[in-house]
Structure 1
């Protein structure tokens, strides 16, 4: 079943997204880049907040837009994982040495860190090239997103066939799969048949499709109604 991941910028949005039925709450600062990170203290507060709820959706947290340098990547992932989230998302870009970064994170994955690799459809010609390395390193999942939020959404960067191959290859390697990148409500019907584990949203959840603005309950409701939830399927 495909779940709805909502990226939230603060604790107020965290609660709003949970009330609106988001399946996964993704801690991300949209004003700080494609994978802008929350401060560690704020991540820890979010974890503490969610632990008080009777029903606790999984939390993921981004680590920021980092250079592909193993020391920088492993340090940030370790610090973010230590905050108590369920998943840590790390963006992989072609510049630098992304393969070395993946290999350097393997010990953390073996120790239990659930790491999700984010590959950017507008930066990688072959977005699935690193998937075998990601799986061998013990990552929990891989998702396809976009880095340049003003250059068009995911479906402008890759066609349905390319997205289907990415999802199928990642799934065959035992990875959780996700698709995101300025997705609009109109994109959902085309992406659901690919059966990714989750679809990620930020822009479509905000008033006026302004990803740097505040989450809008009506926009969230529109996305939630387009992505079948547990109750719809039961």
Structure 2
């Protein structure tokens, strides 16, 4: 199970308190949204505050630093800045999503060739990396080619809006895209 603490801004203390509360559910992953401008130091401090709680509690929960592929539009950290903050702040995984939920995919902001470089950079830093952001079956071939560690799908699996219930037929269709992998 993963728990998203949400976009906390530059609030290390609030992030630490939210992490303490989330740990009562014993999640495997704890995601911290970093809707922050540069420098990476601010994101590092938020992540470090959460990682300190994880360490103090002896939690086996992995810390995920979540940033945005549409960072240029949002004025947030670049993927390289996210990787820098994740390493310095004690995260083990970086997740690139889209901040805007208006139907643009991650690929609309970062083409697969650029994402492949980000994946390589994350791996070189010892991090796992996940990709999300309005991804669907049409993106699967390119996603398989660039080989991220994790993939996040939501809207393409629901009965309509991204917050609706899952549609079993859509889930099967997406899984079919991964046949033989």
TM-score range, shorter chain: 0.7 to 0.9
Separation in 2 of the partners of 1:225 and 1:91?
31
Where does residue 81 of structure 2 map in the other structure?
129
| Cα separation, partners in 2 of 1:136 and 1:66, compared to 1, 3 Å | closer
Where does residue 70 of structure 1 map in the other structure?
12
Separation in 1 of the partners of 2:47 and 2:7?
15
Unmatched segments (≥5 aa) in structure 1: 1-58
Separation in 2 of the partners of 1:212 and 1:106?
29
Where does residue 79 of structure 1 map in the other structure?
21
How many angstroms does 1:84 deviate by? 1.0
| Cα separation, partners in 2 of 1:60 and 1:196, compared to 1, 3 Å | same
Where does residue 101 of structure 1 map in the other structure?
46
Q: TM-score, normalised by structure 1?
A: 0.67
Say whether 1:163 aligns with 2:115: yes
Say whether 1:173 aligns with 2:133: no
Cα contact 2:130–2:151 (8 A) shared by 1: yes
Aligned residues: 171
Cα contact 2:67–2:77 (8 A) shared by 1: no
**SS at the partner of 2:152?**
strand
How many angstroms does 1:109 deviate by? 4.5
| Cα separation, partners in 2 of 1:178 and 1:69, compared to 1, 3 Å | same
> What is the RMSD computed on CA atoms of the aligned residues?
1.9
Separation in 1 of the partners of 2:7 and 2:49?
17
Separation in 2 of the partners of 1:65 and 1:214?
23
Q: TM-score, normalised by structure 2?
A: 0.85
- 1:114-153 matches, cutoff 5 A: 114-123=62-71, 124=76, 126-150=78-102, 152-153=104-105
Separation in 2 of the partners of 1:160 and 1:216?
27
Cα contact 1:103–1:133 (8 A) shared by 2: no
Separation in 1 of the partners of 2:103 and 2:169?
25
Higher relative contact order (CA 8 A, sep 6+): 1
Where does residue 192 of structure 1 map in the other structure?
144
| Cα separation, partners in 2 of 1:94 and 1:64, compared to 1, 3 Å | closer
